[in-house]
Amino acid sequence: MPKLSACIQEERVILHLQAQKKMEAIRELAARLEGPDEIVDVKRFLSLVMQREKIETTAVGHGVAIPHAHGDCVKSLVIGVGVSPQGIDFGAMDGEPVRIMMMIASPVRHFQDYLKAVSRVARLLNQEDCRQRILNAQSVAEVIEVFKQMDRL
């Protein structure tokens, strides 16, 4: 699996999500992942993500959500990061609003890398220090630097 920081480009990071609701936030971040080498059919990808959300929320607690999906509408593993200073209700088990959302998209053929990426993101964002550094970042470059440093661990 490639390093997480290699899958997060500057244009895929939103420091201040405009969305107030879960589905709006998912759409806002998914739009940043669309491209000829990434998500080629964003509507299909959103449908896959929404199906996943209907089964169980991707809010993992501590103000974090990891909406994710894999499908033939995705050409390469891509990750987006969205920060919501005000927080968004994702229906998290701990009741906390989501302030950090990481979206993971993967082609079907890279299923193992997809599982590893979801697992790694969940582990990293379970760390208070990592979450605080992302929430306190003043620039997109600072957010990416958090993941570069975590990749070295």
Q: Compute the distance between CA of residue 118 and CA of residue 114 in angstroms, rounded to an integer.
A: 6
Q: Compute the distance between CA of residue 142 and CA of residue 38 in angstroms, rounded to an integer.
A: 23
What is the CATH number assigned to the segment(s) 4-151?
3.40.930.10
pLDDT by residue for the chain (153 residues), tens digit each?
Answer: 778 888 899 999 999 999 999 999 999 999 999 999 999 999 999 999 999 999 999 999 999 999 999 999 999 999 999 999 999 999 999 999 999 999 999 999 999 999 999 999 999 999 999 999 999 999 999 999 999 998 887
Q: Compute the distance between CA of residue 146 and CA of residue 76 in angstroms, rounded to an integer.
A: 22
Q: What are the residue boundaries of the structural domains of the chain, listed by start?
A: 4-151
